[in-house]
Amino acid sequence: MFEITLYEMRRAIARRKVIVLTIISFIFELGIYLAIYLAPSKSLKTLIIPLSPYLWALGALLPQVILIHFLAISISSGSMAEEYEQGTVDYFISKPISRYRFITEKFLGSLILLTLIYVLMIVVAVVMSFVLFGYQKYLFLLPEVIGSVIFSTLVFLNMAFVIGEVLRRSNLSFTISGFVLIASIIITNVLFFVSQFTHNPAYENISIYLPTWGATELPFI
């Protein structure tokens, strides 16, 4: 049981896109903490000092803006699509397992791998916060933050997974899902600007129906 889940995790972590995006995510997170710690401006340091006990939240929520969703897309876009591209799906379908179990375990493998990567990012954020800025408060909120962020990634994790299953092309699935993510973020920002400029909240309310609203706003609600 769960052999396919472990198989999917091994395949996903070996993909170049996943490796590159994971490295970029960790470098970005480390860079943010070092930039804040080494900030040359006294006024900036004065602003940061009161926030020092809560800076673990920066590393926990910052990837939520876009990086974690691109990582979700890179993991799940090739989950089913690569099986069709490489012809390995026939091998699994010929085994005494149902198609439902095969797809379910493949999806679980993608979700578990994404969760493990994000939890590792949280660990790095907490360690960096303690080392550079001292004692951190409200760490009891970590399980809730992790749960809400992972739940919010399901939007694009599901989207890339389904597109990959339907089109059976991993690069096409990654491109379409990534385009939807970027386009939704841009449209959301434009709607917010128009709403503020016209003092009409109706424009901002439209963004609720875009896929990025649930993906990026949920952890902050």
pLDDT of residue 179: 93
Q: CA quadruple 26, 27, 31, 34: dihedral positive or negative?
A: positive
Q: Which residues of 158-196 are buried (b: 16+ CB within 10 A; e: fewer)?
A: bbbbebbbebbbbeebbebbbebbeebbeebeebeeebe
pLDDT tens profile 26-79: 998 898 898 888 876 777 777 788 888 888 888 888 877 788 999 999 999 988
DSSP-based three-state secondary structure for 102: helix
Residue pLDDT, tens place only, 85-120: 887 776 766 677 778 888 888 999 999 999 999 999
What is this structure's pTM?
Answer: 0.88
Domain parsing of the chain, residue ranges: 3-220
- Spatial neighbors of 198 by CB under 8 A, at least 6 apart, are none
Enter the tokens of residue 125: 């954020």
What's CA 1's distance to the chain center, in Å? 27
Question: Amino acid identity of 6?
Answer: L
Q: pLDDT tens for residues 117-126?
A: 999 999 999 9
CA-nearest of 146, 124, 116, 118 to 55 is: 124
